[in-house]
A and B are shown apart, each in its own frame.
Chain A
Amino acid sequence: MTSHVDGNALAGSLSEIFRTDMTTAVCCCGGCGDTTTIATEMVYGTDALAHGSIVRCRSCDDVLITLVDTPERTVVRFPGITTLTVDRETPPA
């Protein structure tokens, strides 16, 4: 069984969608208000056998981001994030 890893591990997948390194972006959890970089949230389902990647709040487990790659599209949802702050200075990953 593969357990969770850090948000940092999603740098590659997120870089296919965003133009900048999203792991240093700061997100605020809609469930509990915890505010931290994506790199420090928890990621489930990065292994080969998962349905998709799920980023959960490090403090309340709420689902913040889901990311599924299908043969034809990538589907990203942000069910649990109220604010996402991306530093403009951050150079491309």
Chain B
Amino acid sequence: MAVFSRGFGGRARESAPDLPPGQFLTEDFPVLSAGPTPEIYTAEWSFSIRTETGAQHTWDWEQFRALPSELVSTDIHCVTRWSKLGTSWRGVSLDTLFEEVESSYDYVMAHSYGGYTTNLPLEDLLDGKAWIAYEFDGEDLDPEHGGPARLLVPHLYFWKSAKWVRGLVMMKDDEPGFWEQNGYHTYGDPWQEQRYW
């Protein structure tokens, strides 16, 4: 049995009616660090999608930025219990990036500069549900928030929105990524509170 510490309430936890269960509002944009922030120059940056045939679709920064982009306004939910409402991003829809990609596989592993990985079902990336985002609040995305570009899949817990993303690899079966191997839920739906295994 833990003893209670008189007068300790913890950080003010402001709940709001429209939040997923167990989430609290935050106004700032906390940075969760898992390692040194990788230094990525757009001149060296590329993004690719690889399929089961070995086919690789690759965009360098210029090609990527020439693609049509969308302004995205969305709420984000971090598994460490903060939610931030009405964030605004600019990015390229994964529908656009997958236009020419042929694959019969249903799962995707996202890979990042720095070695991070996270797994997602392909259908969660399509139909206007996910982007490769490169602007936040009208500014270039900060390296500490995943710049130059990060995955944005706001309907899942935010660890799925891999920072510093550099590519997607199609997978036949769902395999766990970095945090998913370490106790976090394979899917991560905030509305069903799928935090851990």
Contacts and interface: CB of A to CB of B under 8 A. Distances in A.
Task: Decide if A and B touch, CB cutoff 8 A.
Answer: yes
Interface of A: 1-4, 44-45, 48-52, 54, 56, 61-63, 66, 68, 70-73, 75, 77
Contacts of B36: 4, 61
State the main secondary structure of chain B at its contact with A.
loop
B179 A70 contact: no
Given A51-B80, A51-B159, 4 more contacts: A3-B33, A45-B32, A49-B32, A61-B35
B32 A56 contact: no
Given A1-B144, A70-B196, A50 B33 contact: yes
B128 interface: no
Contacts of A56: 35
B183 interface: yes
Nearest to B11: A48
Nearest to A46: B33
14 contacts: A3-B33, A4-B33, A45-B32, A45-B33, A48-B11, A49-B32, A50-B33, A51-B159, A51-B182, A52-B182, A56-B35, A73-B196, A75-B183, A77-B181
Nearest to B185: A70
A24 to B, nearest CB: 24
Contacts of A70: 183, 195-197
A46 to B, nearest CB: 10
B120 interface: no
B49 interface: no
Contacts of B159: 51
Contacts of B195: 70
Contacts of A54: 34-35
B33 A68 contact: no
Contacts of B179: 51-52, 68
B30 interface: yes
A73 B32 contact: no
Contacts of B33: 1-4, 44-45, 50
A15 to B, nearest CB: 18
Contacts of A45: 32-34
